Amino acid sequence: MRNGAELLVDALVRHGVDTVFGYPGDTSIAFYDVLARRADEIRHVLTRDERHAGFAADAYTRTTRRIGVCEAPSGAGAVYLASGLAEAFASSIPVLAITTDNNRRSHGTAPISEVDQEQLFAACTKWRRSATRTSDIPALVGEAIAAATQGRPGPVVLILPEDVLEGAPEDTAPVPGETEPAPEAAAVTVVPGRRDAAPAEPVRQAAARLAAAERPVVVAGGGAHLSGAGAELVRLADHLGMPVGTSIHGKGIIDEAHPFALGVVGSNGARDYANAWVAESDLVLFVGTRANATDTLGFTTPARNGPAILHIETDTERAGRNYPGSVALVGDATTVLGQLRAQVPAVPDSVRADRARRLAAARARWARDGAESTAALAPEVLFPRDLVRVLGDAFGRNTWVVADAGTPTPYLACYWEAPGDGWRVVIPRGHGPLGYAVPASIGVAVAHPGERVLCLTTENSVAMAVGEWETAKRLGLPVTYVVLDNRSMAWIKMIQHLYAGGRYFAVDPGPLDPVQLGLGMGLSGARARSLDEFADLAKKAADQDGPSLIHVAVPEHMDVPPPVPVWQAALSGESSSRPIH
């Protein structure tokens, strides 16, 4: 007789799920038994811990706009998974997490892996349910996916006690949700799950302000990616001659070689002319971004008492929250952008040409002024900016890029020129967890079979996630790991340097040899000691079938400051204030 695990897999298949990232435990045996028998329908990817399964599913969603799925057993497995889901929750990434739980007979008897999972996941998911009947499983899967993909997206968790998973359906009638016709997979799993238009009156107000603006600009975030709004955003930008900046999450929503592309704005990885353009605007249209302190340089770019603000957002509570007086446009980004374009007349060609000319001149000046690296470096230490440019030459701008928080982030944000072809540069900015990129690269590589993935990480993030190199080798994934090693917890050390009188504490752990670690798990790898050597290794890695790594020393941030405007202001004496987060 069929059990709950069979109903679960049936429901996942019906909703177009083809991959589950996870790690087995005592309470998930029934689920794994069915996954083993039905491996031709759903692929299970074994990660080395549950947190990494969450990160992999998160990156799967970002780069496919299909809901990523991860699973974990009870107790410590669920606790680990909560950490993996926290980034997805903060970044509004829809992920379906499935956890198993103790047999309900043992609840309250202090079994070894008992934890109140609904309470555990309350702070990092938007929906959570513990199944009480086997027959309810198919309907709960559908409810979970709808919750994850509609409104403000986010992770959800379906909790399945062992006896519910192993039990037979209680109902003799057809199980709810089981007899519905199987839809096209994309119709269910593509984000967003619903495309709502904004109400007519706010759209009318926003259109009037756009039409009157003389210096309008867009700042787009990850929500624009999840909506698939790139093409509609470019149409509006061309229609109004309106430059487009992005948050780090929004990077690549428009081809960064486009005449109206500003690149990343805000406090981490922004080019100076991009922030200046936003600061001098008379209208800012936020699209699918939180408009938080990082995206706006501490709410100075734009200033709160400055330009008119329009904010497209799926969440009523978030739309316009950080900028009082905003016109809140609550709805799907693609849909609302189309509504605006239909109501705002196009600017004259002369206006469009003048703005494009001024932006091209600003971009050329920035490139010219920063063409040469002038700081003196220790032997075998290389400039991160030069490394990013070499990687762009070797791998091409259409490669998938995943990076960790810390050193890789500002350099990729500033110097990697992303194509306008989806969420191809994945950097976790919800919480900025270290150790994200290595498991996330697994999710990206599994989602896009045979396509090259470039992963920029650091020695400290490797220390947290190195086990997933074995996963990459086991699966034969074409991922190149570039380990930027500044031999310290450089980001925190820089904050101590600037704002704590240079009193460095707990930021200098011992050395770590990524090459030896990688070789021990079957990866090919080498240390680059010069830029030419790095370029040669990068070209070889780009043509390699399986996983590989390149280890390279980079300077500490106080020696070569990255493009972080508040740090540069502090070093120049312009400001001594700690940045607002």
- Predicted confidence (pLDDT) per residue in 160-183, tens digit: 999 999 999 987 666 555 555 444
Same structural domain for residues 287 and 377?
A: no
Residue-level pLDDT at 172:
67
Same structural domain for residues 450 and 473?
A: yes
Q: pLDDT band at residue 376, thresholds of 50, 70 and 90?
A: confident
Query: The domain containing residue 310 runs over which residues?
Result: 200-366
Domain presence at residue 578: no
What six digits make up the tokens of 449? 């079979």
Taking a C-beta distance cutoff of 8 angstroms, is the pair 346, 240 a contact?
yes
DSSP 96: E
Residue-level pLDDT at 187:
43
Same structural domain for residues 95 and 204?
A: no
Residue-level pLDDT at 188:
47
> Taking the model in full, what pTM does it have?
0.95
The rounded distance, in Å, linking the Cα atoms of 129 and 241 is 47
Stretch 563-580: mean pLDDT? 84
Same structural domain for residues 124 and 206?
A: no
Domain presence at residue 325: yes
Residue-level pLDDT at 369:
85
Using CA atoms, how far residue 382 sits from 374, 393, 484, 530, in Å, is 12, 17, 9, 7
Residue-level pLDDT at 186:
42
Same structural domain for residues 385 and 288?
A: no
Stretch 275-294: mean pLDDT? 97
What's the CATH code of the domain at 429?
Answer: 3.40.50.970
What's the CATH code of the domain at 325?
Answer: 3.40.50.1220
Domain presence at residue 379: yes
Choose the final residue of a domain: 329, 347, 366. Answer: 366
The rounded distance, in Å, linking the Cα atoms of 430 and 85 is 11
Same structural domain for residues 344 and 206?
A: yes
Q: Note the pLDDT tens digit of each residue in 128-161.
A: 999 999 999 999 999 999 999 999 999 999 999 9
350 pLDDT more than 50: yes
Stretch 199-211: mean pLDDT? 98
What single letter denotes the amino acid at residue 85?
L
Q: pLDDT band at residue 190, thresholds of 50, 70 and 90?
A: confident
Same structural domain for residues 348 and 482?
A: no
Stretch 61-67: mean pLDDT? 97
Same structural domain for residues 358 and 376?
A: no
Residue-level pLDDT at 302:
97
Same structural domain for residues 36 and 185?
A: yes
Choose the final residue of a domain: 189, 221, 247. Answer: 189
Local structure of 95: helix, strand or coil = strand
Domain presence at residue 581: no
For the chain, the distance separating the N- and C-terminal CA atoms, rounded to the nearest angstrom, is 55
Question: By percentage, how much of the chain surpasses pLDDT 70?
Answer: 96
Question: By percentage, how much of the chain surpasses pLDDT 90?
Answer: 88
Choose the final residue of a domain: 189, 214, 244. Answer: 189
Instruction: Say how many domains are in the chain.
Output: 3
Taking a C-beta distance cutoff of 8 angstroms, is the pair 259, 252 a contact?
no
Position of tokens 């000319």? 357
Q: Which residue has the higher pLDDT, 380 or 191?
A: 380
Q: pLDDT band at residue 11, thresholds of 50, 70 and 90?
A: very high
